[in-house]
Structures are given as structure tokens and as C-alpha cells.
Amino acid sequence: MDRYIKLGVNIDHVATLRNARGGNYPDVIAAAKIAEQSGADSITVHLREDRRHINENDLENLLNNINVPLNLEIAAKQETIEIALNNQPKSICFVPENRQEITTEGGLDVKKNFNYLKEIIDPILKTDIEISVFVDPSEEQLQATKELGVKTIELHTGAYANAFENKLNIEFELDKLRSSAFLAKKLLLNCHAGHGLNFDNVVSIAKISNILELNIGHFIIADSIFNGLKKSIQKMRTIINEASL
Ligand code: PXP
């Protein structure tokens, strides 16, 4: 293998499913263990302000139970930063957060919020926690991130994923990601990417030479239904059949 791209598996939606019933099933730690045993280089979770999936308890349990690095996605807000600092994940990825959104809809506007981000992120840059920011693939965002003193960007691949699904402007969106990855290299920024990736659209992304890590969640969790549903139904059928003999 010439080049190895790390895979961070985002397990937020195991917690989404768990929270639908309020108990502890499916267990987030068990899912993280499977991810770890299946080749995930890191586990990613997004601690949202509204705690719609992962909560502080999960974060603590994950850090106590997994053997691969934990990448924590948070909004650049004092409350979540304090939680992150108390838990010491290997890395933090700053993402924009909007209460109404279904998912992280765009990158963090580092240029517009530069002074605020500088003030809030500066103290963490002095710790051992690796910092990245989730940005749209644009030159001005990369330049602003460089100025912030952050060493890693995660490129938002959502617009490309939508283009791929709609079969519209795919090359245009891909070119933005390619040139941003190229610029990241020039600026000596580590380049990660993620959002909306699946078995089909990940191929062109994995060919971009400067990308070091991909973070993928929703599709992997969703696809596992199709890989496991048949077995689960057959097992239930067998148990019911045998018990009712
Ligand atoms: N990277 C970041 C920074 C994210 O916020 C998300 C979504 O939480 C992902 C990657 C993964 O996106 P998806 O769940 O669509 O694979």
C-alpha cells in the first residue's frame, strides 16, 4: 500500500438509535469496540449542545474503554470546551452548530469569526490535544485557519456528496476539494475530510493525495442495517420457533 488514509468511524447514530428508547441498547461502547476491531483508526463523536446523540457519560465511558484515539467534535463554545478539557480526548474538531439543523450543514466560518475563535481556541493550542477545524473547501477559510495557528483542517465533503447524489456539478465540487487539499499541503496544514461519504462517493475523495484521514458516520451505521438485518430476523425466527415447539 503506497499511502494509508486513516479512517475515523463516527458512532453518533448508534446513540441516536439508543436514545429513541432511552435505555442502553444499542450500546455505544460495544459499537466502538466493533469499529476498533474492524479497522477504525479512531472513534469520532459529536457532543452536541442539545445532546441529541452522544452525551458526557458516553464520552467518559468511551475514553475509559477504547484503545484507539477519540476525536471529539464540538462547537467552539465555552461549555463544550470545558467538557473537552476535563476529558482530554486525543483530538478536538471544531464544528459549527445550529440547533435547528439536522446535521452539520456547512463548515465553520473561520474568516468571519476569527477574533472569537482565536480567543477561545488559543489556550487549547497550548495543550497536547490536537485541534482541527471543519471548514468548507475554500482558500479564504484555509488561510484564516492557518492564521489561527491550527495545524489541521477537516474539509467538509457535504456539498460534493450532494452533488454526487444529484449527479450535478460533481467535478466542480471535487475540484474545490482537490485544490483545497493541495493548498493545505502548501500551507503545511494536515488535511482530513468527511461528511456524507459512502461506498460510491468516497472513491474520488480517497484518490486526493494529500488527504490523511476520513471521518465517516451515518452511512456506515446505516449500511450495517443491511449487512445485519437478515441475520437478526432469522435469529429471532429461530428462537420463536424453538420456544413455541
Ligand atoms: N466530520 C465532521 C466534522 C462531522 O461533523 C461529521 C458529522 O457529524 C462527519 C465528519 C461525518 O459525517 P457523516 O455522518 O455524514 O458520515
pLDDT of res. 161: 98
Cell numbers given for 54: 452522544
Which of the following is catalytic: 13, 53, 192, 195?
195
Evaluate: CB of 8 within 6 angstroms of ligand 1: no
Q: Is the pLDDT of residue 101 over 90?
A: no
**What's the one-letter identity of residue 31?**
A
CATH number of 6-243: 3.20.20.70
* Grid coordinates belonging to 89: 480526548
Whether 219 is in the pocket of ligand 1, judged by its Cβ within 6 Å, is yes
The answer to whether residue 56 is catalytic is no
Q: Which of 95, 99, 73 is nearest to 84 (CA)?
A: 73
How many CA atoms lie within 13 Å of 105's alpha carbon, on the beta-carbon side?
6
Give, in degrees to the nearest 5, the angle at Cα 191 between 188 and 3. Answer: 100
Mean model confidence pLDDT for the chain? 96
pLDDT of residue 99: 65
End-to-end CA, the chain: 54
Query: Cβ distance 121 to 101 under 8 Å?
Result: no
Ligand 1 touching residue 104 (CB < 6 A)? yes
Q: Taking Cα atoms as reference points, which of 228, 143, 155, 239 lies closest to residue 186?
A: 143
- Residue 55, judged by CB atoms within 10 A of its CB (0-12, 13-18, 19+), counts as middle
Q: Specify the amino acid at residue 184.
A: A
Say which amino acid occupies 15.
Answer: A
Q: Is 73 assigned a catalytic role? A: yes
Place of cell 460533481: 170
Site to probe by mutation for ligand 1, drawn from 103, 130, 220 as the one with most ligand atoms within 8 Å of Cβ, is: 103
Residue 141 CA, chain-centre distance (Å), reads 19
Q: What is the distance between the alpha carbons of residues 190 and 192, in angstroms, rounded to a whole number?
A: 7
What is the per-residue pLDDT across 29-83, written as a single tens digit (0 to 9) for each? 999 999 999 999 999 999 999 999 999 999 999 999 999 999 999 999 999 999 9
Please tell me the residue having the least CA distance from ligand 1 atom 7: 195
Answer yes or no: is pLDDT of 10 > 90: yes
CA–CA distance, 169 with 242 (Å, rounded to integer):
55
**pLDDT tens figures, 190-223:** 999 999 999 999 999 999 999 999 999 999 999 9
Q: Cell numbers at residue 150, please? A: 491550527
Residue 149 has pLDDT above 80, yes or no: yes
